[in-house]
Amino acid sequence: MKIIAYGIRDDERPYLDQWSKDQGIDVKAVGDLLDDTTVDLAKGYDGAVVYQQKPYTASVLDKLAANGITNLSLRNVGVDNVDTDAVKRNGFKVTNVPAYSPAAIAEFTVTELMRLLRRTPTFDRKQAAGDLTWAPDIADELNSMTVGIVATGRIGRAAMKIYQGFGAKVIAYDVYHNPELEKAGIYVDSLDELYAKADVISLHTPATKDNNKMLDDAAFAKMKDGVWILNPARGALIDTDALIRALDSGKVAGAALDVYEDEVGIFNTDFGSFEAIPDERLKNLMKRDNVLVSPHIAFYTKTAVKNMVQFALNNNKQLIETGHADNQVNF
């Protein structure tokens, strides 16, 4: 059995090498991502492990299948950038890692909210300029707020526990109800109801065709004045222009964005200077004290990285050996 793993970073390599040694399976680690220029490296291998930073286009998948590989294992949750027609046409079997560390993302999300509520970005800027005054930057307390969780999967539920630990009231919306949360009376009947009641809106839903830019002008208009927006999930969930308008008007008090709708090719890139970042809307957000932008790092912990690598390799091994896997995605 031979597996090729694309986009392997230095921080992932020890976990890949450990798995390869433990399993006695040859794994070729490639630093470049899977695309049209690297797909031919897969010739002679039985499966490919990949990471979601570039689209898996029909061209790439057709070439991968032509090279004899139809076992594809993603080291991440989202599959929204996989060409589904090419998957079906070529008979691909695709897996993801649905839960590499819900706690990592939940902890980061709440940490960013606390930074916003306690105005630490403002105080950091003031102190760097020698200003050690307090006013007018008085803080808010999470324990007095209602947090609206959008989607109650593993990450949403992990975040919920932390919010509740701070004493916040938690409400949630999900098309699919968790029985325990249902029994506890956590769910509201609609997103509109959640928008109307929540002081904080915490997004934990995957991106789908139905929820593309779900937070748009109409959605913001239904929210409380001074609402806080948290998005560690998918950039496509928020209409960036609408968010900027809501921030300008004060409808949104602040936002923590670990994802961005146009992040591909921008996040995880060193541009050398702030001015060189090639996205004016993103820079608009980054300049604000009441907006925290991070380059898709909520997942980025040692535990999560290890699980992403080794769970994906386990998935690929299962596909090769049996033709199916526990974390197989149905398209």
Whether 234 is catalytic = yes
Helix (H) or strand (E) holding 324: none
What 3-state DSSP class applies to 142? Answer: helix
Residue tagged active-site, from 75, 119, 157, 234? 234
Measured distance CA(173)–CA(147) in Å, rounded:
11
Computed from CA positions of residues 140, 141, 146, 149, in that sequence, does the dihedral angle turn out positive or negative? positive
Measured distance CA(18)–CA(33) in Å, rounded:
21
Tokens of 77: 């949750």
Whether 107 is catalytic = no
The residue type found at 273 is S
Whether 115 is catalytic = no
The residue type found at 125 is R
Residue tagged active-site, from 112, 263, 280, 281? 263
> What residue spans of 118-262 are helical by DSSP H?
120-128, 154-165, 179-183, 191-197, 217-221, 240-249
Residue tagged active-site, from 119, 154, 157, 296? 296
Computed from CA positions of residues 86, 92, 98, 101, in that sequence, does the dihedral angle turn out positive or negative? negative
Secondary structure letter of residue 82 according to DSSP: B
Catalytic residues: 234, 263, 296
